[in-house]
Amino acid sequence: MRKFFGTDGIRGKVGAGKMTPELALKLGWAAGRVLSRSGTRKVIIGKDTRISGYLFESALEAGLSAAGLNVMLMGPMPTPAVAYLTRTFRAEAGVVISASHNPYYDNGIKFFSTDGSKLDDELELEIEAELEKPLVCVESHLLGKVSRIDDAAGRYIEYCKGNFPADQTLAGLKIVVDCAHGATYHIAPNVFRELGAEVVTIGDKPNGININDQVGATSMAKICETVVSEGADLGIALDGDGDRIMMVNRQGEVIDGDQILYILACDAQKRGILKGGVVGTLMSNLGLELALKQLNIPFARSKVGDRYVMELLKEKDWRIGGENSGHILNLDHGTTGDGIVAGILVLAAMRRHNASLEELTESMQMLPQVLINVRFEGNSDPLASQLVKDAQVQVESRLGERGRVLLRKSGTEPLIRVMVEGDDEVLVRAHAETIAAAVKQAV
């Protein structure tokens, strides 16, 4: 059992529980002792735009130095940029200070191994074991030093652009880019402009506390309105740390992660480069599975969380997978979810097939899916309640084979996620509200 690490590193409210300066200091030291094995003795640290990022950056820096590791600071940079530069600098590890799509008062810490992939469970358990030991500083002449990677943004911009066909441009396209006031604010607009697009930006003025506030991939109303009012061809919405993407077509309709997976799989199949099939999650829309089946493309579901998508991709030796929330993995183009790169791959498909975003998704029919989040406190388990179980059985019997119910605890927040899917949106919403009411009563 892991005491500190969740499904995506360590995350929580700043100054409470796990996310304290004391723990960050000790975590830097513990991780330094476990990860300092390949001999380079350097660790890269990146962060999003939360005001607390300065605090945790300093604490981690001190802990890593105490363990004898040199620290290279990137400043505000997307999570996938940290993964990429960890590989290119041959660092022992990369560290990201971010709570992704959470509000500014939360923060988190997650690690990448030297190859740019997320740490496996065994390494996280080793770090937790070190956390239980007293902090012992190395001798003064062995202390780590700190430097800054001044050209980190430029390096990552060039990497992103390298995923677009060299013989194509985005000239003639008008794109709205929503950076969620997060880590992509100085990256994403430049990537798409340098590829030739006319770019309208929103969510590109971070102040430390406005990250994900009514903007970004988890709050799509503003970008939908802006795409229509600007007469844009499409919109690209990223989350606070840049590893998620949602898109908007010219009608102002949301194109989610499932539809993006469909576009990428169809494009790869037409080009003859699709290896195996597509991995989704338990939350993936049934419409994705049915549409891929029509194309004879295999589909498999993992547990919710991009680390589980990655595990199943590696197990099956497939390349494309992701979540409807916008975590998109294409192992031919990176080792972790990358919102900017996923957007570039969709734009490349549009250019390659001379098609609009609407045309690339028209063959996939999304079934109505309603998700309701119910907050709970403490160590209670509402899903164990007989009241909740009975409500689920009742709804499943009414939906039959053309629908699904999924109840699960969030891996990053104290929430029970109630998902119901079926043919009739009105009935689906009513069923979801019925189960959500039972969960609230159990709470």
Domains 173-252 and 369-442 share a fold: no
SS3 159: helix
CATH class of 173-252: alpha beta
Residue 100 in marked binding region: yes
196 exposure class (CB count in 10 Å sphere: 0-12, 13-18, 19+): middle
Which entry of 52, 100, 219, 284 is annotated as an active-site residue?
A: 100
Q: Say whether 241 counts as a known binding-site residue.
A: yes
pLDDT, tens digit, 9 for 90 and up, residues 254-308: 999 999 999 999 999 999 999 999 999 998 998 999 899 999 999 999 998 888 9
pLDDT at 380 over 80: no
HSE on the CB side for 232, CA within 13 Å? 26
Which residues in 224-247 are b (16+ Cβ under 10 Å) and which e? Answer: bebbbeeebbbbbbbbbbbbbbbb
Taking the alpha carbons of 26, 28, 31, 33 in that order, is the dihedral positive or negative?
negative
Q: Is 100 a catalytic residue?
A: yes
- pLDDT reported for residue 1: 66
pLDDT, tens only, 45-85: 999 999 999 999 999 999 999 999 999 999 999 999 999 99
Q: 10-150, superfamily in CATH? A: Alpha-D-Glucose-1,6-Bisphosphate, subunit A, domain 3 (3.40.120.10)
424 is known to lie in a ligand binding site: no
The correct answer on CATH 3.40.50.300 for the domain covering 256-361 is no
Domain ranges of the chain: 10-150, 173-252, 256-361, 369-442
**pLDDT one-digit tens code per residue, 320-374:** 999 999 999 999 999 999 999 999 999 999 999 999 999 999 999 999 989 999 9
Residues 73 and 51: their CA atoms lie apart, in Å, by 16
Q: Is 239 annotated as a binding residue?
A: yes
Fold for the domain defined by 369-442: TATA-Binding Protein (3.30.310)
What does the pLDDT look like over 171-187, one tens digit per residue? 999 999 999 999 999 99
